Every structure is written in C-alpha cells, then in structure tokens.
Amino acid sequence: MLRISKLNAWYGASHALQDISMEVSKGEIVCLIGRNGAGKTTTLKSIMGLMDRIRGSAIFKGKELLDQPAHARFALGLAYVPEERRIVQGLSVRENLRLGLVASPQKKRESELIDEIAQIFPRLAERLDQEAVTMSGGEQQMLAIARAMIGKPDLIMLDEPSEGIMPVLVDEMFALFRSMKTQGTTVLLVEQNVELALDIADRAYVLDQGAVVHHASAQELLADSEIKERYCSV
C-alpha cells in the first residue's frame, strides 16, 4: 500500500532523514521505533506532506505522494494523528469529528459516520455535545484518532498515541488498534511504549539518527535482547 524509497528531509541545514526506505502492506500494523530525535515523527510528517524540504519517493496505492499537497494525500485515503492531538478549542466533540470530514469523499454520510464512530468510541458517545477540550487527555487522544478514522482512511499514521495517558485508556486504545487491523485498516505507528507497540505490530523499522538501521518482524525484535535493551526503555 505504501512504499517509501530514499526519503530525505531537512530542517534548515539539518539533514533529518537520510535515505529512508520502507514498505507497509495492506492490513498490516507497522511500527517505527527509535530514541528521541531518531526521525520517527519527521518520517510521518514527510509522508503526510508537512515538511517544507524533502526528496525521494513515497508511493501510496500506486500514486506518488511527494508532488501532492497534504489535503490531496488525505483525499487519497491517508490520515495522520499528530502527537499534539490538535483538538479545536471552543468546538464540541461532535464538531471536532465533523472536521474530519471537511475534505473527505465521505462528507455526505456525516450523521451516519458520527453514529458509527460513537459506537466504536463509547466514551465519546457520552460526550458528543461536550466542549472537547474539557475532556481528559486520554479522551482527547481518542477524539483525535476518531476524527482521523471517521473518513475511513486506507492507512492511518499514529504518532505517540499513548503519551501522557492513564494505563486503562492505553489498554483500550491498543485494543482498538487491533480491531482496526481486523477490519482492514492499515496502521503506521510511532509509539514510545516499544514493547506494547511490538506486541500488536506485524513488522517494525528501527531508526537511528535519521536512518533505518534495522528491519524485522515484531516478534523477532521482541526476542532481540540488544534491541530491547537499547530501545524498550526509551
């Protein structure tokens, strides 16, 4: 579904990504692991079209992404949940969900899709008319994921979804990711809890200083004592 080839990105003079190559197949959960500053978030932002200076290739469903603006990539079926969540202040949960459909081909089914997403996220169903920013951090994270999911993307990229969230909500969230995979949604995941991410993933790429230094099945990486020592405590 997604093939990245020799992807390079810069922040000013800093060469943040160096010839990143990876693949994500339909129905997989693939995770990116590495220490802070390794280039994980930059990889997701580059794929989504949120970096000013990039070079290389990103083929999504047979189409080159790098010559497309971010909103066109979204329309192709690519969704991104950033680490910052970006819940819009002053809007209710329902109104934030509606924002996920503004540029979506699914916009005409808005009411139906909000009902569907409320069934998937029962915590949100109870709060549809509540101002979104008054919810807990974990509930806001669920809203950010729901807002990305409501347009039924083919691939959803998640950046550190468990950060700062109480364990009970993290468990709910990762159960949701398993369910998403079962239903055919493809996931590219950046997650600070490496063991938890590898437990649900099919494969993983290890990034270090802007380059892919290792790639293996999730189970192989979980069994690799050197990888666990170096990255699972991050």
Distance of CA 138 to the CA centre of its chain: 16
Note the pLDDT tens digit of each residue in 100-155: 888 777 778 888 999 999 888 888 999 999 999 999 888 999 999 999 999 889 99
- How far apart are the C-alpha atoms of 8 and 96, rounded to whole Å? 33
- How far apart are the C-alpha atoms of 8 and 18, rounded to whole Å? 5
| Contact residues for 57 (Cβ-Cβ < 8 A; gap 6+) | 3, 4, 5, 6, 7, 64, 66
pLDDT at 233: 52
Contact 207, 214 (CB under 8 A): no
pTM of the prediction?
Answer: 0.91
pLDDT at 232: 64
pLDDT at 169: 85
The proportion of the chain whose per-residue pLDDT surpasses 70, expressed as a percent, equals 99
Please tell me whether residues 12 and 31 are part of one structural domain: yes
pLDDT at 213: 94
Note the pLDDT tens digit of each residue in 81-107: 998 878 999 999 999 999 988 877 777
Please tell me whether residues 101 and 71 are part of one structural domain: no
Please tell me whether residues 66 and 166 are part of one structural domain: yes
Which of 102, 136, 151 terminates a domain? The answer is 151
Which of 117, 151, 185 terminates a domain? The answer is 151
Residue-number span of the structural domain to which 133 is assigned: 86-151
Q: 73 versus 105: which is more confidently predicted?
A: 73
- How far apart are the C-alpha atoms of 200 and 29, rounded to whole Å? 7
pLDDT at 24: 97
Please tell me whether residues 211 and 172 are part of one structural domain: yes
Please tell me whether residues 8 and 51 are part of one structural domain: yes
Question: What mean pLDDT is predicted for residues 46-75?
Answer: 94
Note the pLDDT tens digit of each residue in 124-134: 999 999 999 99
Please count the structural domains in the chain. Answer: 2
Which of 151, 166, 201 terminates a domain? The answer is 151
